Copies of this chain bind each other. A is one copy, B any other.
Amino acid sequence: MNAPQHASLIGQRIPKMDAPEKVAGKTRYIQDLNLPGQLYGLILRTERVHARIVSIDTSAAKALPGVRAVLTAADVPIHPIGVNKDNPPLKGDKVRCERDEVAAVAADSLEIAQAAIKLIKVEYEDLPPIFDPRDSIKDGAPVIHAAKPDNVAMAFDYAHGDVERGEAESDVVVEDEFTLHRVTHCCMGVSGVIADFEPVSGNLTLYSNTQVPFLHKREFAEVLGMDPSRIRIIQPPIGGGFGSKLDIYPFEPIAVYLAKATRRPVKLIFTREEEFIASPTRQPAIIRLRSGAKKDGTLTFRTVDVLLDNGGYTSWGATIPFVMMQTFSSLYRVPHCRYHTKAVYTNNPFAGSFRGYGNLQATFAIEQQMDKMADALGIEPYEFRLKNAQNAGEVTGQGMHFKTCGFQDCLETAAGRSGFVEKRKALGAAKGLSGVRRGVGMASMLHVGGGAKIYPSDGCGTILKLDDFGHVTIMTGASEIGQGSETVLAQLVCEELGVPMSAVTVVNNDTDITPWDVGVHASRTTFIAGNSAIGAARKAKDKILAAAATVSNMKAEEMDLKGGNIVRASDGEKVMPLAKMLRQLHFSDKAELVMTTNYYEPPSVHQDKGFKGDVSAAYAWATQVVEVEVDTDTGIVKLLKVWAAHDVGRVLNEMGIEGQIEGGIIMGQGYALCEDMPVVEGHLVNPAFRDYKLITAPEIPEMDISFIETMDGEGPQGAKGVGEAPSICMAAAVANAIENATGVRIASLPFTPERVYSALKGRPL
């Protein structure tokens, strides 16, 4: 009779907790925050992309009434930021790309700041620029950073097995070069920060959209030369992240410098145009891939050479090869693998981390070549994949241990539900270069699904507090950037404590309140923060049931928490209301509140010097099949339907995971078909939504989403992380579908009408 109350929350469709506030227009983003006495910060960016700064004249700007500070590199400490520490927030000697920050203003109003910026005069002396990364490594190339005379920002090699032996064993060898373009996150909430120093103490509070508040504390401390313990980061609700807010960028220290100079809070928010020009992009890449296989379809070897356009400075984009490598080495069983990567400076904008983190690029190359090899071997591509697909229990050449692995299930499910083999055969038989053609394409992916041990800790802390009425507060280090983390954490705690979702508040946006977490990246939040929250909840449950044992005739282990009550575990019979027990515990002689703390560190390991090791506690898998229509007269590619089969470990919140997968598919679709950032002589030509083409509602394809539940032993309730997975396969699957429709394989993205039309006409762009 109490059955509905006792139903598990796991797998239910649970709306996001932050949705009502957002839909009601009540959410106050950083744009809506204003501090007393606040000034408005604005940045003057360079007009040139590679030039020496001869002089900066700020006198007229400083003289403008209402201007409180005008800063140039001469006014601030030299603390370059970014992955290579090559990016001074304000540029003093030279400029290296369109984004470069030359001066900054803090003024009483945005209008005054805008006027002041126009009054700053900068004299430049142009230097020879580099726009193509292949030019950066040519002899005699202009040097972009004096400290790196070879223009190489980052390079490394990886290998397992013996590729020469692999090649000798091969019956078929294919080699291709793939060119990946630049796209950007398009977060609805543009970048912004408010920097506020406390009087007297000098402590700094940053209101920030960062995805990594705890890492940011340390980074800001380094930049500012202050004790990290004196920095507090508060995250107002964040209008999307996708990795764009994973690094520290010049505007942030600039806002802090302005606040320091003026002793006033300074708010610095990008315009949309600035967001396009000056926020990180997905990493463009040139991938040369060579693979071999035996006649029976067994993969033999792979060599990979990756060249990255690092742009003017180094952010996380330069590090995507670490993730790409996993796909090359371990998506399929490859006994021999060699991998070389190089990120080189150019005078282009630079890339950051972006959902999928190199895996879209790697998968684009791998999964096209898998089709190509299958064709060369005369094997059905689906069968070829299935033959080489990893299985549960395997340890790859790179040391990844797949304790659970739904890859083959994903392949079978996506192929089965889409009728892939038959459809591909039928459409392929009708392929051609005239009229409107249809094709199907398949791609699969492997991605970390249980965190990624990159930092000294990959953990997350939780503090749990129950009030006298059964209300639960979860203080978690895990940030909510729109991905639904607070909802799934609440759900996992409610499941343990047998309370409804309405009983929970999640506190997750203030480093002074919440315990440490490494940040939102690597699809880790549900897995890591979820396990942390479950641990805290189980400690609370133990405390409650132990107390219940003292007032009932049952042992703690004979009881459970369900439907807001303490119940008999065997039959769900109510023992007493949870809230009543909490009050008895509190209002007794030995008064006690139920408060617990927990820190979860996944059982993953750091990679060794050879980049080998089981870096994630679990791995996610997916296969996506797409069906497209190619208008050969216009080059327009229409995505008709996507069949997506994802090994998600276990579905926790069906609505949430569907949203993640749908959103990811659409992001992958945009990457494949229309999003692009043409940079001409270092300048972005389309910094606006008018010219930057995002997927909009009418273009969203029909979707058929299947969940493969492998019930991961380490995952929270069996779940794996899935935040990045859904966008990874799309471009590769679309490429394969275009080939199926037209017989033409296109190795460069995006598949805009112009590029497709040119390719079909035999004149690839």
Contacts and interface: CB of A to CB of B under 8 A. Distances in A.
Interface of A: 19-21, 23-26, 28, 32, 35-37, 198-201, 203, 214, 217-218, 221, 227-230, 232, 456-457, 459, 461, 463, 465, 467-471, 473, 475, 502-503, 505, 507, 511-513, 515-516, 579, 586-587, 589-593, 595-597, 599, 601
Given A37-B25, A199-B23, A516-B468, A232 B505 contact: yes
7 contacts: A19-B200, A21-B198, A32-B36, A229-B503, A230-B502, A465-B515, A597-B597
B513 A475 contact: yes
Nearest to A23: B199
Q: Which 7 A-B pairs have the closest CB atoms?
A: A229-B471, A229-B469, A591-B601, A20-B200, A595-B597, A456-B587, A24-B199
A465 B228 CA distance: 15
Given A199-B24, A200-B20, A465-B515, A457 B503 contact: no
Copies of this chain, count: 2
B512 A505 contact: yes
A505 to B, nearest CB: 4
A515 B36 contact: no
B502 A201 contact: yes
A470 B502 contact: no
Nearest to A470: B229
Contacts of A592: 599
A579 B230 CA distance: 13
Contacts of A214: 467-468
Contacts of A475: 513
Given A20-B198, A20-B199, A32-B36, A591 B457 contact: yes
Contacts of A596: 597
A586 B471 contact: no
A574 to B, nearest CB: 18
Contacts of A463: 463, 465, 595, 597
A524 to B, nearest CB: 14
A15 to B, nearest CB: 8
Contacts of A511: 467
A515 B593 contact: yes
A37 B20 CA distance: 15
Contacts of A227: 469
Contact of A507 (B513, B579, B593): B513
Contacts of A590: 601
A473 B463 CA distance: 12
Contact of A593 (B470, B505, B516): B516
Nearest to A462: B595
Given A456-B586, A473-B513, A515-B595, 18 more contacts: A21-B199, A23-B199, A25-B36, A26-B35, A26-B36, A217-B467, A229-B503, A230-B471, A461-B595, A465-B513, A465-B515, A473-B512, A475-B513, A507-B513, A515-B593, A592-B599, A593-B597, A596-B597
A468 B24 contact: no
